[in-house]
A and B are shown apart, each in its own frame.
Chain A
Amino acid sequence: DSGVTQTPKHLITATGQRVTLRCSPRSGDLSVYWYQQSLDQGLQFLIQYYNGEERAKGNILERFSAQQFPDLHSELNLSSLELGDSALYFCASSVGTGYFNYGYTFGSGTRLTVV
């Protein structure tokens, strides 16, 4: 157990729907990162939050949004889902950010299947 908790583990939903993925970071970690892993795209960085504030944005679609709450858990919202959004979505956490980022701890992921 890495200490980073992601729920749900699996999600099957229809095109056009909206889902919310949840992540609880490792105890003491203030930064949360979201990644998408699909077969043909590898690991794609989506977005980072640090202590409740958005810090960095990657290739995140406008249909996707995220937030980090005061208790530091984070949610990734995916809306108007398309077949191509089917992927593994990983959350990672780290103690610091910027030059205090010494590596991530990953959760076990949420497998999203859009049908």
Chain B
Amino acid sequence: AQSVAQPEDQVNVAEGNPLTVKCTYSVSGNPYLFWYVQYPNRGLQFLLKYITGDNLVKGSYGFEAEFNKSQTSFHLKKPSALVSDSALYFCAVRDMEDASKIIFGSGTRLSIRP
């Protein structure tokens, strides 16, 4: 079965420090991968996606993600965290059997302390 895993329920980082939110995937073939962010009482907002090409994908709000095929990972990164980055982050993959569906991970709560 195809899936994404976010091994950390919560990540805590001090403001100004680099942050990483981890995601690994399990799909057959070449994956379409996404990161979404959910702020309190809001819907999910698209951050970035990987379809093909450059392994380093740049997205909104200064976030980037690195696609690593050998490690089947798609970790979200930011060089310098802001308190306003505190939110729930979801990694997702397009279903290879039904491309209409996107499969979401369980989410990682990112908390940035001042």
> How many Å lie between the Cα of A48 and that of B34 in the bound state?
19
Chain B: minimal CB distance from A97 (Å): 5
A interface residue count range (under 10 / 10 to 19 / 20 to 34 / 35 or more):
20 to 34
- Which of chain B's residues have a CB closer than 8 A to the CB of A109? 42-43
Flag if A43 contacts B34 (CB, 8 Å): no
Q: Quick one: CB contact mask for A89-115 with B, threshold 8 Å, 1 for yes?
A: 010100001110111111111010000
- The complex places the Cα of A107 from the Cα of B105 at a distance, in Å, of 19
What residue in chain A is nearest B51 (Cβ atoms)? A102
A86 to B36, CA, bound (A): 23
Binding site for B on A (CB under 8 A): 2, 4, 6, 31, 42-43, 45, 48, 50, 55-56, 58, 90, 92, 97-99, 101-109, 111
Chain B residues, CB < 8 A from A106: 36, 43-45
Q: Which residue of chain A has the shortest Cβ distance to B36 in the bound complex?
A: A106
Binding stretch for chain A, among B67-75, B79-87, B95-103: B95-103
